[in-house]
């Protein structure tokens, strides 16, 4: 309303805020709402993943349902963290140099899983991409815990010697 008044009266309103600040102010949630959103999204993601594993062995449509539920579950689990950090901060962290490769592989595998199942109709390839989804999502998640990925790499190198 103030902006309308300033325009109609011929005054120019001063706009020092950036677009990102405006978006952040418009989408600010209370901490309790963020926790509830995180839990709800994470539970839906986990339930979809478990449901996908349960329907895997249904004849004819089991693999297709597994791929749909499993991929949707991963997307929900990834989206749940956006409630805790906020979408802009989450996207910035996903593109951080320590997570960029894992993020790229994870999103690529999500898309390729769906392409392999519905477009190419190659369920073996779709299952391979699901496995790569698990590995890349785990590697991405471990990047949020300090020094865990480095310790895991050292442990693997000890076993390979």
Q: What is the mean pLDDT of residues 56-80?
A: 90
In a domain? residue 24: no
Write out the residue range of the structural domain in which residue 127 sits: 30-160
Residue that has been written with the tokens 């480095």 in this structure: 150
Domain total for the chain?
1
The pLDDT value given to residue 69:
94
DSSP string, 57-99: TSTTTHHHHHHHHHHHHHHHHHHHHHHHH-HHHHHHHHTSTTT
In a domain? residue 20: no
Chain segment 96-136, per-residue pLDDT in tens: 988 899 999 999 999 999 999 889 989 899 989 999 998 99
The pLDDT value given to residue 7:
46
Residue 3 has pLDDT above 80, yes or no: no
Residue 16 backbone dihedrals phi, psi, to 5 degrees: -90, -10
In a domain? residue 9: no
Chain segment 133-158, per-residue pLDDT in tens: 989 988 888 888 888 888 988 988 98
What does pTM read for this prediction? 0.71
Chain segment 76-99, per-residue pLDDT in tens: 998 998 888 888 888 899 999 888
In a domain? residue 50: yes
In a domain? residue 88: yes
The pLDDT value given to residue 131:
92
In a domain? residue 1: no
Q: What is the mean pLDDT of residues 60-66?
A: 88
Chain segment 9-57, per-residue pLDDT in tens: 555 444 556 665 665 555 677 888 989 999 999 999 999 999 999 998 8
In a domain? residue 117: yes
In a domain? residue 66: yes
């Amino acid at each position: 309303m103030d902006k309308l008044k300033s325009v109609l009266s011929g005054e120019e309103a001063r706009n020092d805020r950036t677009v990102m600040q405006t978006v952040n102010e418009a989408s600010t949630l209370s901490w309790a709402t963020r926790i509830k959103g995180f839990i709800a999204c994470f539970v839906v993601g986990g339930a979809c993943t478990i449901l996908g594993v349960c329907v895997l062995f249904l004849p004819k449509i089991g693999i297709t349902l597994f791929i749909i539920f499993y991929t949707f579950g991963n997307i929900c689990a990834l989206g749940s963290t956006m409630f805790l950090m906020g979408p802009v901060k989450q996207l910035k962290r996903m593109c951080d140099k320590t997570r960029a490769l894992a993020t790229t592989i994870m999103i690529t595998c999500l898309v390729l899983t769906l392409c392999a199942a519905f477009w190419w109709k190659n369920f073996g390839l779709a299952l391979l991409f699901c496995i790569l989804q698990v590995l890349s999502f785990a590697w991405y998640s471990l990047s949020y815990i300090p020094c865990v990925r480095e310790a895991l790499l050292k442990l693997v190198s000890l076993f390979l010697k």
